[in-house]
Structures are given as C-alpha cells and as structure tokens.
Structure 1
C-alpha cells in the first residue's frame, strides 16, 4: 500500500486562509505528519458556494424542531442553507473514491458533532448540531472514516482514524481489482486479529456474517454490507484488554519454538503492557522478531502487526 491515499479535508486545516475572518486553522498532524502518506482533496464549502473571505460568520439557527438553517450571525442577508445543501449533495456524489475525511470542528458547515445551534431570536444555543456539509457527507457515505481536527489531538482517536483510513484503502483497492469470494475471504482473514482488538463480540458476529457469504445472491451487495460492518466495527476503540487478548493469542503460536526463559520474558512484556507500564509497540516488536525467526503464514499476513506506516509512531504512547 505504497500509493498515496485519497482523503478529503477542510481547506482551512491545511493552512489555506479561507475562514470567515480571513485566517486558517492549520492542523499540524494533518498538514505535516499525515501529508506524506495522503493525497488531500481540500475544499471550503463556504467559499465554494460563493462567499468571500473575510465574510460575516455563519451559524446554525433552529427554525423548527430538528431543522436548522445556515444563517449569518449578524442577522443580515438571507440564509444560505439551500446553497450549501445543493453544493454538498453534488460535491459528495463525486467523492466516493475517498478513504477518509478530516473536517473543521465547530464549523456550521463542516463540524462533525457538538456544533452550536442557536435560537432564532437570541444567542441561546445548544452544542448538538452537525455542519450541513458533513451531515450530508456522513449520510451519503456512512462507511467513511470522518474525524475532526480537535479530536485528532487524542492519541487513541488519532490512531483509530488512521487505521480505518488504511483499512478502507486496502478494501477499495481489492474491490477495484475485481471482486471474488476468494479475495473477500482473504481480506477478512488478514484483518482477523485487528478486528479482535476492536471488539470481541462484533468480531464473532462478523465471522458468522462472512461464513454466510454464499447465501447472498449478489457478491457486490455482500461487499457493500461487509464494508459498512467492517468500518462500524473499527469505530470501536481498540482497548488495552482486547490488545492483551490478541497478544496472548499470538504468543501461543510460538510456544513450541521458545525456551522457557523466552516464554517468560514475552509473557512479562505482555503483562507490563496490560498494566499500562509500557506501550503496545514493545510486545508487538518482540512478536515481530519471533515471527521473523519462526515464520508462520497465518500471522505473517495479519495486518495487525502493521496497520499503517510505523513511521507515524501511533503505537508509541499507549
């Protein structure tokens, strides 16, 4: 997976001066650390519908129960709700090749969650809205990994997003190469340990779903459903407990080859990780070392050991 992965992004997060105040909200993680691996497709929905910069700020205003309008915060001019919705529908229809999207937090256009929704006649507001563009994005492409710049400061959310992006990219590559039952089974097999780290119950349910692949009249329909289930499963943050179970499971493959002392050392590394005394990278590194010494075909194909480029250093801190 050496080619750059197509990911959408709010243009302001790359440093483009497109915000209402003429500024930007550059996200260093996206613009610097992820950039070498991704092919960004930036856009600013507000600029795209013809608004200038600088411009009066926009905000979501409640106009009926469960319905909002995109209005200028100074109360002047007509709402631009229809323009934004029309743009979003047309733009997103052409984005189904993307493997992820990074949006600007709190934006009435791009915010993913907790966007302020104002009352029409005062400044009373509730943090319960979704930006109009991102709402349409998640409606059209519910399988797509979407994350906000602010949430990417959280190590666990950051790793989860990147893993989902790389997983979807590999799935899309497989699909473009021509669907076959064998390819789908092989893909699922490569991700078994990864799925187990995210949710043991969902992992077992996914196994039953894949086992019934032949019952589907259309392989493409199965692939659509598999993709949705796959990405929903991976939204569950991988836990220390689940990782520990995976590590112990992998450890079992090497018991015949390792000496008693080596088994004890490996078990101690896994236990130290379980207790939070060291990052996941440490036991993973030891298991990869033994895998190179004692090759095991099933383990060698597992994406769990390198779900994304190691240079991103996402397993160093937890």
Structure 2
C-alpha cells in the first residue's frame, strides 16, 4: 500500500478524540485534526478501553497510583476499585484483534491511554513527576513495538505530525509487502525505495541497514526481514532536520547534474540553501526538483518514497 493507494490505511484511535461522548464526565475531547482532516485519508477504529471494560458514562474517574514504572489504575474516589488487570487484558486482546491497523492515536495524559507523562499519584495524594504510561496503551504497544503511535496533543507539532504520518504509510507499505510475500528481491526493492527517506531521518541507520541487507545472501530472509523492519521503523521515528533534509535534496539534485543548465543548477542550489537556513519551507525546493524530474525522468528517483511519503493534499511539508 502506498500513499497514492485508493484504499485508506486504518488507524486505531481513542474514541473521545472523534467526538464520542465516552469520557468520565460524559463529554469528549474531539480533535478536529483527526475528525475533520485525517479522516479524509484514514479509516478509524475508535476504542475506549474504560467503557469497554464496563465502566459507565459518566463514571468515577480513575488514576494511576504507586510505582511510576509499574503503576496501578484505581478509582479516584474509591481506591479499592482496581481496574489495572481488566485494562491490561483488554489492551492485549485488542492488540490481537487490530492486526490490520497501521498506527494508533492515543488520548494524552489518560490513565488508560496516555503514552507518556501520565501522573502517578503517591501516598498523600501527591503525584510523582509525570512519568507514567496508561495501562491499556502500555499493554497494546508491548504487543506491537513497531507500530507508529502518537498522542493527540503532540500531533499539533508539524514536525511530529509529518513524522507520524510518514511512519504510518511506511507501515502500510510493509503490510502490503507481507501480503505479496517477502522475497530477497522484494525486500531489496522495498529498501531501495526508502533509501532517501531513511537518509533524511537517520543517516547512521541508513548505512547500517544497507550493510544488514548486504549480508542477506548468508541469512534466511524470513528471519532477516523482521529485524530489518524493526530497525527501519525505529530509524524513521527520529525526526528529520533541515540539515538532513538538505542533504537528501542535494543527493536528489545530483541526479540532474547532466540535465540542467548552469542557471537551473544555481536556482536549485539557492533554494536548498534557503530551506537549510529556514527562509522557505521544504515544499519549495522539493517542488522545483519534482518539476525538473518530470522534464528529465530518472527511474531510481521516481521510485523514492521520499518524494511523496504521504498524500500531498495533507500539506504536511508546507510547515517544515
């Protein structure tokens, strides 16, 4: 599956973020980014683990208590009501049922769904430094370590939003590769398409993964492929910078050195430098390069996911 595929990738999402009235107070936390923008490009599976385990709406809120590294979820009014095990078991169950999703957007700071920085209360009612993780989210993510996950609030940051969506489409492409069947040739072709995106996100892993696949002839591809993909997803989680993007743009322009006039080369170089110094967004030099590659096609460059890792009309690179 690619960013241009007609079928939408599927995302898990905390139900309250879609406007469902499932919160403890009978309200919701609708995210317009999710419900009105991302919904055009993704299908959502909405989940509220607290409702799913039988807690009503409205209900007594729960909170995390105890050791921040291994907290318990209990009632905030009736602390003897411990729902840690039901939430964890439901997280494991849903991890098995939602095998087709390509990512998950969790409700931040939630004792069930928060990914990080959740308050964990100590004796006397005072919270520790926000360092906990929601019980459901922890159980779910433990079963899917490579799955792109993010909290709704962090998606307001354009760099984090673009990074998450890029990883979602990479995950979807890997799922399609698994459906097609992973062979040595297909794995090498997959890696070739992701080289420049990988270079932008993590230059060191760009080299390491190339070396890993270089030794593939001596290894079982069925054993190597999961290792490769785990390392790829970890590398892509690293946010690309203006410097690393500029490096990739220069690599791309190198494919045009025999095709462009002197003035065209100067223009490309100037725009890359303007981007590097924060004068123009990434979309500006990238659009010019795409224009030149339409005039001077290059099969290797045409296959690079970096040129369009997600739908253009999301405008994710307009703010980078």
TM-score where L is the length of structure 1: 0.97
SS at match of 2:131: strand
User: Is it true that 1:162 corresponds to 2:170 in the alignment?
Assistant: no
User: Is it true that 1:4 corresponds to 2:4 in the alignment?
Assistant: no
Q: What is aligned with 1:55?
A: 59
Asked if 2 retains the 8 angstrom alpha-carbon contact of 1:8 and 1:42, the reply is yes
SS at match of 1:244: helix
Instruction: Give, in angstroms, the shift of residue 76 of structure 1.
Output: 4.8
Q: What is aligned with 2:279?
A: 277
- Distance in 1 (CA, whole Å) between partners of 2:80 and 2:204 is 52
Asked if 1 retains the 8 angstrom alpha-carbon contact of 2:119 and 2:127, the reply is no
Instruction: Give, in angstroms, the shift of residue 120 of structure 1.
Output: 3.7
Among 283, 296, 301, the alignment partner of 1:294 is 296
Instruction: Give, in angstroms, the shift of residue 215 of structure 1.
Output: 2.3
SS at match of 2:159: helix
Asked if 2 retains the 8 angstrom alpha-carbon contact of 1:71 and 1:79, the reply is yes
- Distance in 2 (CA, whole Å) between partners of 1:317 and 1:117 is 35
Instruction: Give, in angstroms, the shift of residue 136 of structure 1.
Output: 1.1
Asked if 2 retains the 8 angstrom alpha-carbon contact of 1:105 and 1:111, the reply is yes
Q: What is aligned with 1:265?
A: 267
SS at match of 1:125: coil
SS at match of 1:210: helix
Q: What is aligned with 1:238?
A: 240
- Distance in 2 (CA, whole Å) between partners of 1:49 and 1:12 is 16
Q: What is aligned with 2:251?
A: 249
1:1-318 → structure 2 map (5 Å cutoff) = 1-62=5-66, 64=67, 66-217=69-220, 219-318=221-320
- Distance in 2 (CA, whole Å) between partners of 1:20 and 1:255 is 61
Instruction: Give, in angstroms, the shift of residue 211 of structure 1.
Output: 1.2
SS at match of 2:119: strand
Unaligned runs of 5+ in 1: none
SS at match of 1:123: coil
Aligned length: 316
RMSD value over aligned CA atoms? 1.2
- Distance in 2 (CA, whole Å) between partners of 1:3 and 1:95 is 17
Asked if 2 retains the 8 angstrom alpha-carbon contact of 1:118 and 1:126, the reply is no
> Mean Cα displacement is larger for which, 162-171 or 204-213?
204-213
Unaligned runs of 5+ in 2: none
SS at match of 2:71: strand
Larger RCO, structure (CA 8 Å, separation 6 or more) = 2
TM-score where L is the length of structure 2: 0.96
- Distance in 2 (CA, whole Å) between partners of 1:233 and 1:160 is 11
Instruction: Give, in angstroms, the shift of residue 66 of structure 1.
Output: 3.5
Structure number having the greater strand percentage:
1
- Distance in 2 (CA, whole Å) between partners of 1:275 and 1:78 is 55
Instruction: Give, in angstroms, the shift of residue 286 of structure 1.
Output: 0.5
Asked if 2 retains the 8 angstrom alpha-carbon contact of 1:102 and 1:149, the reply is yes
- Distance in 2 (CA, whole Å) between partners of 1:92 and 1:69 is 20
Asked if 2 retains the 8 angstrom alpha-carbon contact of 1:4 and 1:37, the reply is yes
- Distance in 2 (CA, whole Å) between partners of 1:107 and 1:237 is 25
